A and B are shown apart, each in its own frame.
Chain A
């Protein structure tokens, strides 16, 4: 056995077993169970349990609350993703252009994304309240705030959560873009500058192509995260007012673990899973085609 370091040893199975056990028990099993349970009308409290086939899924598509949850989740994603990405790229470009004390500013901009979402949501609940600081800022700009604060108006609750999300996650994605920017060889810029390329031309010809792989990653990661929005809704609005901030994960929680309609909630979770997979695949395909 000695000398052949690549062959499998008896201890190796032991070393792998914690991961294998986690994989089987806490990943594979829940995914399979989730699918199985979504085909039943399992209700934890009444103990109902019967195979109903695709009934739950048909019911979901006739459920106004669920449709509203899908709409809100899509609005949230489509609204935040481009803004967050643009802010992140701008911040990264700004920091990358040899700014003094760059490391310090980088840390400060990134800081909100290491703090617990619950903490951030609590602070913003207060900032968004009637008479709170956001309203005061709005009044300075000549805007009038909703009567009961931003989180208690159907018109402003979702946009308010979206704005907080953009504020919170821009620094996180900035960090990723900064890493991508720093891997671009300096000579490319020097060569472009030598040929008299303008700032915009340099950005288009040198920077953008190098940012593309990271852009693809950020867009997909951001979509997956956006589709899973839950904590903000739980802490700030509980899906209200009148379902205006109801999101898919909040719907899954409320149906499945609050009302204990396990089968119905699991069906919604599975649709979410399918939706995320579909969108990630589409984005991958779209951006790949554009890059080639």
Chain B
């Protein structure tokens, strides 16, 4: 069943055409962000294209895009680190212990995993107000520090590794903290990498919660700033595309570096969840 050379060439051609369909809009964004030659209707004027960095310069000098950029980085980093630690802690207890109510806790993880997040935007807004954290970093971070998917993934992963090392450490008098930090976390490195990349991306791209939980310009994350930039009179399409490119850039870099981890995370979530 070896494919014939001609047939295989044809298949690669088809594959390339499909690839072009998926990539073209991003190429359009990228080219647009480095040029000024847009016609009034919004298409690129290919004949008059001039390459320039002015769109990017404008964003950082006039619109202060670095504030949402830093906000997004900070929030995504803290949320990711939080999930790596807290999901491991919870996953470890759920995988290794037997206690009353353990099944209930595990069930709560799975049930919560299935709850559509958008249906609680109004009570989340009220809650942030009542807690006095509305429009602060705490509102952007606290609700997402321990994601049910992470608890579930870590529990599954830890269940599958033998407990010998933990036992050995325990016999030598190691505290539970030391066991987590020195034994469990290092053993979980592959799972943590998958979870980390996944959580970072989801947070970096998330729109609705940062949008409803903040109101001031200094608290906006990048997707929120981007969606609101669109309405500004002072901004034009090439500048908007430059902002969109900045927002997509970390995603692209992560994707090139960790595309296998990202796909693993999604498949793991699907097969086990």
Contacts and interface: CB of A to CB of B under 8 A. Distances in A.
B226 interface: yes
Name B's interface SS: helix
Interface string A113-155: 0111111101111110111110010000000000000000000
19 contacts: A5-B96, A5-B163, A7-B99, A15-B180, A16-B90, A16-B94, A19-B109, A100-B8, A105-B15, A106-B263, A107-B259, A108-B19, A115-B26, A118-B244, A119-B247, A131-B42, A171-B22, A262-B122, A273-B116
B18 interface: yes
Interface in B207-261: 207-208, 212, 222-223, 226-227, 230, 237, 240-241, 244, 247-248, 251-252, 254-255, 259
Nearest to A179: B267
Nearest to A193: B1
B146 A18 contact: yes
A91 interface: yes
A97 to B, nearest CB: 8
Interface stretch (A55-63, A74-82, A203-211, A230-238): A230-238
A23 B167 contact: no
B20 to A, nearest CB: 9
Given A11-B176, A15-B93, A257-B212, A123 B123 contact: no
B126 interface: yes
A270 interface: yes
A136 B41 CA distance: 12
B89 A5 contact: no
Contact of A2 (B39, B170, B254): B170
B267 A176 contact: yes
A19 B90 CA distance: 7
Contacts of B105: 16, 19-20
Contacts of B251: 114-116
Interface string B89-119: 1101110111100000100110010111111
A9 B247 CA distance: 45
A136 B43 CA distance: 10
Task: Report the 7 A-B pairs with minimum CB-CB distance, sorted nearest first.
Answer: A131-B41, A30-B123, A15-B89, A30-B120, A116-B205, A8-B99, A19-B90
B43 A132 contact: yes
Interface in A232-256: 234-235, 249, 252-253, 256
Interface of B: 1, 3, 8, 11-12, 14-15, 18-19, 21-23, 25-26, 28-29, 32, 39-43, 86-87, 89-90, 92-94, 96-99, 105, 108-109, 112, 114-127, 142-143, 145-146, 148, 151, 163, 166-167, 170-171, 175-177, 180, 201, 204-205, 207-208, 212, 222-223, 226-227, 230, 237, 240-241, 244, 247-248, 251-252, 254-255, 259, 262-263, 266-267, 270-271
Contact of A276 (B116, B175, B204, B240): B116
A133 B115 CA distance: 38
A273 to B, nearest CB: 4
A110 B263 contact: yes
A89 B220 CA distance: 38
Contacts of B117: 228
A110 B204 CA distance: 18
A69 interface: no
A272 interface: yes
Contacts of A2: 170-171
B244 A119 contact: yes
Given A9-B97, A272-B119, 17 more contacts: A19-B105, A23-B108, A99-B11, A99-B15, A107-B259, A108-B19, A108-B23, A118-B205, A119-B248, A122-B244, A126-B42, A132-B43, A179-B271, A228-B118, A252-B119, A257-B212, A269-B118
Given A114-B262, A235-B230, A108 B86 contact: no
A257 B121 CA distance: 9
A109 B118 contact: no
Contact of A122 (B170, B240, B259, B271): B240
B270 A214 contact: yes
Interface of A: 2, 5-9, 11-12, 15-16, 18-20, 22-23, 25-27, 29-31, 33-34, 37, 91, 94-95, 98-101, 105-112, 114-120, 122-127, 129-133, 136, 167, 171-172, 175-176, 179, 193, 214, 217, 221, 224, 227-228, 230-231, 234-235, 249, 252-253, 256-257, 262, 265-266, 269-270, 272-273, 276, 280
A114 B15 contact: no
A131 to B, nearest CB: 3
Contact of A5 (B21, B22, B170, B252): B170
Q: Which of A108, A132, A221, A262 has the most CB of B within 10 A?
A: A108
Given A8-B98, A16-B105, A114-B255, A22 B146 contact: yes
Nearest to A35: B123
A34 B117 CA distance: 12
Contacts of A120: 25
A172 B252 CA distance: 16
A118 to B, nearest CB: 4
Contacts of B124: 26, 30
A262 B130 CA distance: 14
